[in-house]
Copies of this chain bind each other. A is one copy, B any other.
Amino acid sequence: MPKKSAATTHRVVSSSEAHQASAPIAHAAKMERRPTINDVARLANVSKKTVSRVINESPFVREETRNRVAAVIKQLGFTPDPQARGLAFRRSFRMGLIYDNPNAAYVINIQEGALGALRKSGYELVVHPCDRTSPEFLSDIEQLVTRQKLDGVILLPPISEDDSLAALLKSLKCPYVRVLSAPLDEIENLVLSRDRESAEQVAEHLVQLGHTRIAMIAGPASYRSSHERLAGFSRALTERGLSLPPEFVIEGQYTFESGAACADVLLSRNPRPTAIFAGNDETAAGVYRTAYLRGFKIPDDLTVIGFDDSPLASRLCPSLTTMHQPIRDMGRTAAEKLMARVANLPGPTPSASTFMPRLVVRESSGPPKPPRVT
């Protein structure tokens, strides 16, 4: 009480007096205690409400006052306490990142992209790995959102594809951004990767190389991107006078093991494919494995294409031709969209929220052998 009343009642003292009076306190503050809005108010000779206005960039502060307060803030190294701020604002300044994705590089990159955008705006990121096959999946997330009072959440595939989750978040009035491979929601709620359209680049690349017996190991049916990549690839081949016959399409699981198993089936076909488009890089690594075990040389005997451009792609021998996604940028964009929505500001445009994966040609692709064209 004494300290407090001293601060508030005697505010009329001159600025220099205030300095003197508070010198020892300021010193103690520097050493033991973070400066609070009250310290700033006292030293700047204004009310804490005015300090609050300066912090929150209210236009209703005289410039001179603003400068004076800003100077004290800087001198003290004051930053508002996020918890107190959150409590008073009835907002948490916290965003969630919810994922159930085994690809560590993907998650880390999204996370760092989002973190980069959030940090400078004073938001925190609450990371929430989860298990979408668990019966508590939805209730866990409901708990997370309500307990932590999340201001918004970023959903990564495959849970971003779950409409019941999106509905739940909507009912909780929790803004969300879904990182998705197809426009399954309003663009406002999306960071979109145009997997379908981009798969055309793979088709074009293989056709250019002269392949005609082309196979694909699709991702699991439960992933939307599986369908997108397959549909786009198939259509693009057809448009080029080729086709993706049923015996050359197998459903994998986006995993190393499934890639190996599916490749084993494909390479037993007669005639066998001369090129395999794997659903992702993990699957492609599985194809490498089977080729290695069966003595097929890549790319001489077999061309392999992946998707993701994960670190793995460049570490395989031969290095893997694959589709590159700007994952970090997608994470940053997702965070920016969320913050813009919360602040009721425009934010990234639809086109800035749409990403087109691009082909990175490496060593795993080459012309078919024996050459078709003599």
- Could you list which residues of chain A lie within 8 angstroms of chain B, going by C-beta atoms? 34, 79, 81-84, 86-87, 92, 104-105, 107-109, 111-112, 115, 124-129, 143, 146-149, 256, 282, 285, 288-289, 292, 311-312, 314-318
Contact = CB atoms under 8 A, between A and B. Distances in A.
A317 B263 CA distance: 15
B83 A111 contact: no
Residue among A92, A108, A111, A147 with the highest chain B CB neighbour number at 10 A = A108
A6 to B, nearest CB: 22
Nearest to A319: B289
A96 to B, nearest CB: 11
Given A107-B108, A115-B129, A312-B312, 19 more contacts: A79-B143, A82-B148, A83-B83, A84-B87, A87-B87, A104-B104, A104-B108, A104-B311, A112-B129, A124-B148, A127-B127, A256-B314, A285-B315, A288-B317, A289-B317, A311-B312, A315-B316, A316-B317, A317-B317
Contacts of A82: 147-148
Nearest to A79: B147
Contacts of A148: 82, 124
A83 B92 contact: yes
A108 B109 CA distance: 11
Classify the interface of chain A: helix, strand, loop or mixed. helix
Contacts of A292: 317-318
A127 B111 contact: yes
For the complex of A and B, 10 pairs with smallest distance between CB atoms: A292-B317, A104-B108, A285-B315, A104-B105, A104-B104, A83-B83, A83-B86, A83-B87, A79-B147, A112-B129
A112 B83 CA distance: 24
Given A82-B148, A316-B315, A115 B87 contact: no
A290 to B, nearest CB: 10
A34 B146 CA distance: 8
